[in-house]
A and B are shown apart, each in its own frame.
Chain A
């Protein structure tokens, strides 16, 4: 890592915020089971996500390596680190594929009907290649610029939605009609999977932040702000649509945006919301891909790491070619296996093990220094 590629803590905050906000797309997962109690697991999930993030940062605080790769090598030995750094990219590419498929579904249904998956993914992946080949700093600036636009759209649309829809505040009740039971499991799943999970990829970006020891809190701030935003969106959905209409389709926020219609031109704004979602997903994919590229480069140590980027993009494209085209099957597969097991392993088990071992290693190094 050269001295040049340093991003400030404000930019890291923005990147975390956009990364978590992008998961808005798939909130409709749990709407069937918990209709008007959907906001409770979001709060619990957010708290869980923050805790998990804190545990991750312990790794960096115990072992102060310059690089992410150096840190992990220090904790576990080199061969194990290499194995990890070969396995994680596969997991990340899997996530990339799922997110790409999500946004393709939305675009296909609502925006441009005749887009085929292959060409859509080709264009998005080409854009990602262009974006990532410029480096992390450009990506950070890019995200900051888009943050202004996203925030402006979010605030103004929330205002418009609340003014032009009938609000039924009593849709929130009854709270926890069936007790805490049905809420716990989705809350737990939310904290390490979507929407507040998949945070491990952010450490590919975290290593570039200036003064890492003091600035780890900014990730938490980004996480908290994103969870507040998601909570607000969920509450708006519940208040306006009610428990039944929320489950009609998987993106309820599009439904309420569609209802804004006042002056002549202000109508059908869900198209803008879809564009914003696409931008957010592109940012999330960029973070995942840049971490992939960094990890593979650490293992293979090439002069021109862009080749690795092209390779990973081709792998994603290949998955798009050969994966089943049925979206419901994919969703099912995702909920049953990916979220339950794969995410658990890669987001909780392995990082927690790393952190535990880092405690021992830290003590060892301290002892060595003392001796």
Chain B
């Protein structure tokens, strides 16, 4: 028995020694990529990577920039990504990628082939945010320095999250959602966007971080509408807000009503919306059941509650109508997921209209059911 144990130990030791023949890279021996961007170029695609200059981060703060941008062109994304190695000192690792920026031009061409790489690549965490650059190139977006956080990509990510939570216009999209939207027929993808406000050129310098009013700022912006993986256009701010009210849950937003000839803001919290489908007299109807909690900052008498509530619902309805109108008529893109609701409640009907959905979608009627709860009003 003892002999056998020695044999096992020898085998294990030998095996472990052999395992060590593989290259193990230390944390400081590779370069972390925080954000990536893809753009259109003549060869195919241009991939830019925002890499962290950790040589700077460890020691005391210096003048040099904490991030570096590389870009390289290639026929496909993987090709260009590997070519980026020609720029960097160490290997590039994209574990901690925070966001992926898609250039506006590329989005209009079609993103499906380029997204493929990020879907299957095992190294990423798959919970990074995918955004479109608002009428810009992704590379330029990545080059912008930010005042509020050392590393711009983290700043971008935080801005998007913030905006999603606070006002409700942005939308965090993970890569799985994109795959789902691209594969299922009839459903259309939506992505948030990032815009550059101000002068692009001056934003790259160091001086941008040393004034109180930098020349350029990055801003989380409205929602882009895709159809069949091509971008069709943008929604305006109000339309984006209405879209988000229908599609997602919003933590905090605002609505406006008129009360005593004054414009009052109404704080809205925790919205949620449920979709259901009914065939009313042969016409497809979607019923939207919307819930929210509001806070009204003026004094209201108890018998005025219903009035105020109706006014709030009116404002909300206006937003949602705008969004639905744009989606149905301007873009003819089912961004809300109506087709999935139809598929889930009434599969046979869905089978019948699946092929001619483009003609059916603009005719879908929408009915609203609001459940607004007024939490608090200001009292004396």
Contacts and interface: CB of A to CB of B under 8 A. Distances in A.
> Do chains A and B directly touch (beta carbons under 8 Å) in the complex?
yes
A85 B124 CA distance: 48
Given A110-B122, A119-B15, A244-B183, 13 more contacts: A114-B22, A115-B22, A123-B15, A130-B8, A170-B341, A174-B343, A174-B345, A242-B180, A244-B184, A248-B119, A258-B127, A261-B125, A306-B4
Contact of A173 (B122, B184, B344): B344
Contacts of A268: 125
Nearest to B344: A173
B344 A123 contact: no
B12 A245 contact: no
10 contacts: A112-B22, A126-B8, A126-B11, A130-B5, A133-B4, A244-B183, A244-B184, A245-B179, A255-B126, A268-B125
Nearest to A125: B11
B18 A119 contact: yes
Most buried by B among A133, A170, A268: A170
B16 interface: yes
B127 A261 contact: yes
B176 interface: yes
The 8 A-B residue pairs with the shortest CB-CB distance, nearest first, are A114-B22, A173-B344, A245-B176, A244-B180, A174-B347, A244-B183, A122-B15, A123-B15
A174 B344 contact: yes
Nearest to B172: A166
Interface residues of A, number: 32
A249 B16 contact: no
A145 to B, nearest CB: 21
A173 B345 contact: yes
Interface residues of B, number: 31
B176 A249 contact: no
B174 interface: yes
B376 to A, nearest CB: 27
Nearest to B21: A114
B380 interface: no
A147 interface: no
B43 interface: no
B288 to A, nearest CB: 14
B122 A259 contact: no
Interface of A: 109-110, 112-115, 119, 122-123, 126-127, 129-130, 133, 170, 173-174, 177, 241-245, 248-249, 255, 258-259, 261, 267-268, 306
Main secondary structure of the interface of B (DSSP, over half): helix
A59 to B, nearest CB: 34
A261 B125 CA distance: 10
Nearest to B11: A126
Interface string B1-38: 10011001001100110110011000000000000000
A60 B176 CA distance: 50
Interface string B220-259: 0000000000000000000000000000000000000000
B120 interface: yes
A163 to B, nearest CB: 14
Contacts of B340: 170
Nearest to A109: B122
A78 to B, nearest CB: 31
A122 B347 CA distance: 52
Nearest to A111: B122
Contacts of B177: 245
A244 B179 contact: yes
A123 B179 contact: no
Contacts of A129: 8
Contacts of B347: 174, 177
A318 to B, nearest CB: 16
Nearest to B124: A258
A259 B128 CA distance: 10
Contact of B125 (A113, A130, A267): A267
A150 to B, nearest CB: 24
Given A119-B15, A244-B179, A248-B119, A259 B126 contact: yes
A255 B122 contact: no
Nearest to A176: B347
Nearest to B178: A245
B344 to A, nearest CB: 4
B125 A258 contact: yes
Most buried by B among A130, A248, A255, A268: A248
A274 B294 CA distance: 45
Contacts of B345: 173-174
A123 B125 contact: no
B4 A170 contact: no
B120 A248 contact: yes
B12 A126 contact: yes
Nearest to B351: A177
B271 to A, nearest CB: 14
Nearest to B187: A244
Contacts of B179: 244-245, 248
B309 to A, nearest CB: 28
Contacts of A177: 347
Contacts of B122: 109-110
Contact of B15 (A126, A242, A267): A126
Contacts of B18: 119
Interface in B122-178: 122, 125-127, 174, 176-177
B19 A258 contact: no
Contacts of A249: 120
